[in-house]
Amino acid sequence: MVQEIRSNEPQYVCVVAIEKITGNQDEEIMTLGVSADDAKAQAMQLLADNYQFQKAQIAELMQQAKIEPIGQWCAPKLASED
């Protein structure tokens, strides 16, 4: 799944390490959202749909998830900021 950064909207990234469950070293998923809750909800849906994780597994993974704002790093630079 590919997600696009939307300019001039707050953006959040949710990073979930899933190596503990899949056994694949350093495996993680990343989702983007317009809010922290949106990024988290998308991550939970991805874990359920693509990996068929159970609710308890998803809850455990989400406790370790990192959710951070990223909009300021990805926003296009304005000409006046040069």
The answer, yes or no, to whether residue 1 has pLDDT greater than 70, is no
Confidence of residue 70 (pLDDT cuts 50, 70, 90): confident
Question: pLDDT tens digits, residue range 14-64?
Answer: 999 999 888 888 899 999 888 999 999 999 999 999 999 999 999 999 999
The more confident residue out of 6 and 35 is 35
List all residues 6 or more positions away from 61 whose beta carbon is below 8 Å from its beta carbon.
Answer: 16, 17, 18, 20, 21, 47, 53
- Per-domain boundaries in the chain: 12-72
pTM, rounded to two decimals: 0.74
| Strand duo 12-17 + 28-33: pairing | antiparallel
